[in-house]
Amino acid sequence: MSGEKAAVYVRLSEEDRDKEKNFQESRSIINQKSLLFTYAEENGFQVVGVYSDEDYAGSDRNRPMFKKLIKDASLGKFSVVLCKSQSRFTREMELVEKYIHGLFPLWGVRFIGVVDRADTLVPGNKKARQINGLVNEWYLEDLSESIKSVLNDLRSKGKHIGAFAPYGYKKDKDNKGHLVPDEPAARVVRKIFSMYVEGTSKINIARYLNDKNIPTPALYKRQQNLNWKNSEAENGFYWRYYTVSSILENQVYTGTMVQGKKKSLSYKSSKTVKTDPKDWFVVENTHEPLIDKETWEKAENMRKSSANPAYKTKNMDVFSGIVYCGFCGKKLKKSYHCRNGIKKVYYRCPMRLLGEKYCHGTSILSEKLKKTAVKEFIDICNSLLGKEYTEQLAISDKSFELEQKETLENKLKSIISNEKKLKNIFAKAYVDKYTCVISDEEYLAVTEKLKSEKSALEEEKSTLKNQIKTLDENIEKQKAEGGQNSFLKKLETNQEFADDICREFIEKITLLGHEENSRKAIIEIIWNI
């Protein structure tokens, strides 16, 4: 045992009020470390790493240092994990079984909970650990339901329960759950509504606020020394279209508290889903409004009338998340433009929208990107990989179509079999009517249903025959063309096939602008081939 390498894991779920400043460790974390270091010294363990998750719940599977601990354990960096108790490691029975009873033994890692005496080296200790795991799981379930009940009660009374007050307000120190205007930010909110109802667009409002060096809501939180975390912190330095839009859509500025717009799926997951508006908690006159009802209604009507229905789409474009600006390095944002009922998808630099002084980037239609990508991929296939490769692709393509044909033919056989069964049922129904087993009315009802099923089968059979015919024609066409060009031709003409190629082989696209005195885009594609 002496000299075994050990990892110390400590966790605290809530912000410790003993901390004097945000960057300081809480007393609980310090005490946990002291306990575990003392235990390690007394038992001859060599501590090779300390993993500390502060302000994370035991049910949170995305704790950063917890994930690092698991990774390092799998790499064999230590053979012992020391925790104050099993619940500090996790409160979920599923993770107890997965790691403490499953992967840790496979990796040769021993788990020790000092206070509750959990120890995977002790054979008779497993049942106690499982009971502890169940108790912790039940605790989380009960706690989750209790918290939900308490929060819903507060929501129904119009009490604000968020971690941070909405931009323009601050929490009332003398009345918990009550909001009071935060005048510096409140003036900005009033200005935004005033400009919007006077006809200024959201993007021009954002430009105005940036030109005036007015801190964004995110930056303002930091300036107020609030313990605010955001995974995309760099995005908080500039006002954007959607920042302005979120303020214009927030009814809280009329003095009405609206909460419960989203709910978590489970206490085990941080994922949330939108709730039906009828389930929202809406309470009027809970705090001082920043704008009057007339201004709100005017802004709301303007916002709804200018809304583009194409923005509602949830379809993921093939290039989403992989197109970057060659000037500022930001990801290009997907946008929509609808004219004469035809929707166009294009990508534009979010910084360029704020003005040329922020970025000289540009925009491009998704279909133009696709044409460029397809052409470049065809060039790669022809020039770099050669004729042999494209012929192999053509053979694979042909094999796939043969498989499709076989599947369709099997479906057709099944339909023909079902038609024969229907004929037998028709005959039996007639015999039952003739022998008075069923009445005339019952016979009519049965035959009507059978006729409907027969009609559906005939329609499906006709569709399958047409699909098989089309496949036969394609296969014959490939034979006539010699095979090599069929794959490339399909890539040029079949949008769905082209999309699959782009998804599979494109790693990153950078839009570098346009050629001088030309609208031709300069595009750099990094292929994953």
90 and 58 within one domain:
yes
Q: Which of 9-13, 102-106, 313-317 has the lowest mean pLDDT?
A: 313-317
174 and 105 within one domain:
no
Specify the pLDDT at position 144: 61
Closest of 370, 387, 406, 330 to residue 491, by C-alpha: 370
Residue 199, CA atoms < 13 Å, CB-side half-sphere: 0
Structural domain tally of the chain?
A: 3
The first and second tokens of residue 335, run together, are 């946008």
417 and 513 within one domain:
yes
pLDDT tens-place string over residues 314-339: 456 778 788 898 888 888 888 777 66
Q: Are 11 and 88 in contact (CB under 8 A)?
A: yes
Three-state SS at 339: strand
Q: How far is CA 403 from the centre of its chain?
A: 35
464 and 382 within one domain:
yes
507 and 372 within one domain:
yes
CA angle 404, 405, 409 (to 5 degrees): 120
Q: Which residues contact 447 (CB under 8 A, 6 or more apart)?
A: 426, 429
Q: Tokens 């079984």 correspond to what residue? A: 97
Residue range(s) defining the domain that contains residue 214? 169-307
Count the Cβ atoms, other than its own, within 10 Å of residue 189. 23
Count the Cβ atoms, other than its own, within 10 Å of residue 233. 12
pLDDT tens-place string over residues 373-429: 888 887 777 776 555 555 555 555 555 566 777 888 888 888 888 888 888 887 777
Range among 40-44, 330-334, 492-496 rated most confident: 40-44
Tell me, yes or no, if the pTM score tops 0.75.
no
Per DSSP (E only), the strands in 157-219 are 169-171, 179-181
Outline where 238-339 has alpha helix (H): 241-248, 293-306
User: d(Cα 475, Cα 484) in Å, to the nearest integer?
Assistant: 13
Question: Going edge to edge, which strands form the sheet with 521-527?
Answer: 323-325, 506-514, 521-527
Domain boundary among 127, 154, 181: 154
Domain boundary among 97, 128, 154: 154
419 and 300 within one domain:
no
